[in-house]
Structure 1
Amino acid sequence: FFVGLPQAIFITEVVPDSPAAEIGLIVGDKITNFLKLDEFIEYVNDNKGKEIGLEIERLGKVFSVQAVPRINPPKGQGALGVALVEGGSPKMGLFSSFYEGFKSSIGIIESIAVAIFGLIKSAVVGEATMESVAGPVGIVKITAQAGSLGFIYLLQLLALISLNLAVINIIPFPALDGGRLLFLAIEKIKGSPLNPKFERFANAGGMALLLLLMLLITIKDISRFF
Structure 2
Amino acid sequence: MNVVQGIAAALTPLGLLWTVLIIGVATFLHELAHYALARRQGVAVHSFSVGMGPVLLRRQWRGTEWRLSLLPIGGYVEIDGMAPEEDGQGSYRQPTRGFAALPVWGKVAILLAGPLTNLLVAIGLMTVSFSSQGVAVPDRARIEEVVPGSRAQTLDLRVGDVITAIDGQDIPETAQVGGRTVAGWEGVRDVLTKAGPHTFTVQRDGQSRDVRFDWSPTVGGQKQLLGIRYAPDVQPVSVGAAFVRAWQVTGEAVPQVIRSFAGLFQRFFTLDLSRDENVSGPIGTAEIVSRAAAVSPWALVQVAILLNLSLAFFNLIPIPGLDGGRIVLALVGALRGRPLTFQQEQAINFAGFAFVMLLMAFVVVRDVSRFF
TM-score, length of structure 1 as denominator length: 0.63
Q: Secondary structure in 2 aligned to 1:3? A: helix
- Comparing 85-94 with 208-217, which one deviates more in the overlay? 85-94
Equivalent in the alignment of 2:365: 219
- The structural deviation recorded for 1:186 is 1.2
Equivalent in the alignment of 2:255: 110
Equivalent in the alignment of 2:340: 194
Code of the aligned partner of 1:4: Q
Larger Cα-atom Rg: 2
* Structure 2 Cα separation of the partners of residues 52 and 172 of structure 1: 48
Alignment RMSD (CA, Å): 3.3
**Corresponding residue to 1:2 among 131, 154, 157:** 131
* Structure 2 Cα separation of the partners of residues 34 and 219 of structure 1: 45
- The structural deviation recorded for 1:38 is 2.4
Alignment of 1:49-68 (within 5 A): 49-52=222-225, 54=227
**1:47 equivalent in alignment to 2:217:** yes
- The structural deviation recorded for 1:97 is 0.8
Between the two proteins, the alignment pairs up a number of residues equal to: 176
Percent of paired sites with the same residue: 24
**Corresponding residue to 1:93 among 238, 253, 270:** 238
Q: For residues 141-168 of structure 1, what are the alpha-carbon distances to aligned partners after superposition, in whole Å with 9 as ceiling and x for unaligned?
A: 1222233332212211221121122111
Cα pair 1:169 1:176 within 8 Å, conserved: yes
**Corresponding residue to 1:144 among 277, 281, 290:** 290
Cα pair 1:109 1:163 within 8 Å, conserved: no
**Structure 2 gap segments, 5+ residues each:** 1-129, 145-158, 163-184, 195-215
Code of the aligned partner of 2:318: P
* Structure 1 Cα separation of the partners of residues 344 and 193 of structure 2: 58
- The structural deviation recorded for 1:9 is 8.3
**Corresponding residue to 1:131 among 272, 275, 286:** 275
- Whichever structure has more strand as a proportion of its residues is 2
Equivalent in the alignment of 1:37: 186
Cα pair 2:280 2:367 within 8 Å, conserved: yes
- The structural deviation recorded for 1:170 is 0.9
**1:175 equivalent in alignment to 2:348:** no
Specify whether residues 147 and 8 from structure 1 end up closer, same or farther in structure 2 by C-alpha distance, changes over 3 A only: farther
- The structural deviation recorded for 1:204 is 2.6
Cα pair 1:33 1:55 within 8 Å, conserved: no
TM-score, length of structure 2 as denominator length: 0.41
* Structure 1 Cα separation of the partners of residues 246 and 303 of structure 2: 14
Specify whether residues 117 and 213 from structure 1 end up closer, same or farther in structure 2 by C-alpha distance, changes over 3 A only: closer
- The structural deviation recorded for 1:131 is 2.5
Equivalent in the alignment of 1:66: none
Specify whether residues 218 and 88 from structure 1 end up closer, same or farther in structure 2 by C-alpha distance, changes over 3 A only: farther
Cα pair 1:8 1:86 within 8 Å, conserved: yes
Q: For residues 79-137 of structure 1, what are the alpha-carbon distances to aligned partners after superposition, in whole Å with 9 as ceiling and x for unaligned?
A: xxxxxx956632211111111111111211232124324554x4698596652232111
